[in-house]
A and B are shown apart, each in its own frame.
Chain A
């Protein structure tokens, strides 16, 4: 990285942190101000804050890589989001506002009882506490591999900066910094998109790139196939995507806290509608940037494996020569494909054949597979999935000075924005649902603000410690996704029972939640069921068992 990149990076990141602290320089003496920004957040800040919370660093690093490797189909994962937003606006927000809650779990005590509230809040703390560590660890491990940054130092710097402004300014600082972070993220991705197009060879513009990407199967954006083994289809997006978005935006305090701080029900609803309006176009732009990077690499020297650190390691082993040979095979295949593309663009049937292109793509996959086998043989425990490294490697190798700094700043901003929401929500839940409810019920507002700040520090330290030991866990991101899926279903089931099962009472729902959680854990330990199904099993289990147990209880009372 050049001096200019460092100036852009340090300038933008420290600017965001100081802006957050400066905007919240008046001391928050009451808990409503610290946790809900005194209910003064306007709708567009809510909208940006909700989007910034969801966009983590790994989203920015992985999504273009996902499009590079598998095409645009991943966008279907978001098709259920607008439906979930509408459901939350109609059913969730009015109930939360009517009961004047600080955390969504408070609502559960008012609807059911304390046990149910504490159960849902505990499940959230376990899941999000682990998640906060990952949102710090994931970009740090990639930056350390690609840029050679010290892993632990990167974790500590990211963690401390986020903890700093969340500690001083609470929810207001988190929302205010989200606005700037979103501006940096969108500015970064749009710049990357246009710069990539400008770097394409002469005669190849955006529309020509679409033809090349389409011929390579990267534009299979909407797939109506009913095959359940296909992870991203229109149907899985509409069903599973709605379900996941409902759980994430409706019952996860790190998201709910963004709209609970709205000036009114209407402002909060508009904030979520803002998200429903911009989310799919934003994901489309990020994925399209990945597709443009794919087209770019069809004409520029492309590494056979994108993790620079692994590349250096293998070259120092006896298999270095074999690796070099695979890289040469790769380059040869690329040269053949360039001729095919020239035929495609010139609409010359003699030079372009769809079958020739397909066989070249298959050959390319075979070379990549052989490379991965070689790498895992020589470097035990290596992560052979390098899609997360594609975009960052492209940025560093080909983008001009200054833009590199902007994009690394965008990726770090994304990591900081989600971590800030997580720390904010973890501290709120610990203060409101446990400390204030169970330990110290009648202290002053000032005391609770002080306690919240203490919990922000505590969760910040826990997240950093977990991130520092992150490399001990194999395939960490998947591990955290599994942890999330284990608990999300049960939490959503409790909320849906609260909203839609009018006859459901506290004890049956609590027992149903415990049994469903046990069933999900049994599925995890004893079966091979795909972890995305845990959400359905957990949620469906709570609803069904609540109905059955409520009926049994009614009969017992009547008898």
Chain B
């Protein structure tokens, strides 16, 4: 990523993406637990 591109980043989109991505990870972990955990 070049320096010019970095300056043009729309930060709110990045923040929403990062929080959304991590929320999806949590959901996937929960699905994994539902699928396998028996205790």
Contact = CB atoms under 8 A, between A and B. Distances in A.
A358 B39 contact: yes
A139 to B, nearest CB: 29
A313 B16 CA distance: 55
Contacts of B14: 269, 273
Q: Interface on chain A toward B: helix, strand, loop, or mixed SS?
A: helix
Contacts of A216: 39
B32 A221 contact: yes
Contact of A266 (B7, B15, B33, B35): B7
B1 to A, nearest CB: 8
A90 interface: yes
A259 to B, nearest CB: 14
A221 B30 contact: yes
A222 interface: yes
B36 A210 contact: yes
Contacts of A276: 18, 22
B39 A273 contact: no
A512 interface: no
Contacts of B37: 214, 217-221
Interface string A488-523: 000000000000000000000000000000000000
Contact of A82 (B1, B11, B19): B19
Which residue among A72, A82, A269 has the maximum number of chain B CB atoms within 10 Å of its CB?
A: A82
A547 interface: no
Which residue among B22, B25, B33 has the maximum number of chain A CB atoms within 10 Å of its CB?
A: B22
A111 interface: no
Closest 8 interchain pairs by CB? Answer: A217-B39, A214-B36, A219-B37, A221-B29, A82-B22, A222-B30, A266-B6, A214-B37
B14 to A, nearest CB: 6
12 contacts: A85-B18, A215-B38, A220-B39, A221-B33, A221-B37, A234-B26, A266-B6, A269-B14, A270-B9, A280-B22, A284-B25, A354-B38
Given A43-B6, A263-B3, A266-B6, A219 B32 contact: yes
A281 interface: yes
A414 interface: no
B29 A273 contact: no
Interface of B: 1, 3, 6-7, 9, 11, 14-15, 18-19, 21-22, 25-26, 29-30, 32-33, 35-39
Contacts of A215: 38-39
Given A82-B18, A83-B19, A273-B14, A219 B7 contact: no
Contacts of A75: 29
A280 B23 CA distance: 11
Contact of A79 (B26, B33, B38): B26
Contact of B33 (A82, A211, A219, A358): A219
B19 A86 contact: yes
Contacts of A267: 6
Contacts of B33: 219-222
B3 to A, nearest CB: 7
Which residue among B9, B32, B33, B36 has the maximum number of chain A CB atoms within 10 Å of its CB?
A: B36
A264 interface: yes
A398 interface: no
A83 B23 CA distance: 11
A281 B25 CA distance: 8
A277 B24 CA distance: 12
A214 B14 CA distance: 35
A219 B36 CA distance: 7
A214 B18 contact: no
Given A90-B11, A214-B37, A220-B37, 6 more contacts: A214-B36, A221-B30, A222-B26, A264-B7, A266-B6, A273-B18
Nearest to A214: B36
Which residue among A89, A266, A267 has the maximum number of chain B CB atoms within 10 Å of its CB?
A: A266
Contacts of A281: 25
Interface string A44-85: 000000000000000000000000000010010001001101
A213 interface: yes
Nearest to B36: A214
B2 to A, nearest CB: 11
B38 A222 contact: no
Contacts of B25: 280-281, 284
Nearest to B15: A86
A304 B30 CA distance: 32
B22 A214 contact: no
B36 A213 contact: yes
Interface in A515-551: none
Contacts of A217: 37-39
Nearest to A216: B39
A214 to B, nearest CB: 3
B21 to A, nearest CB: 7
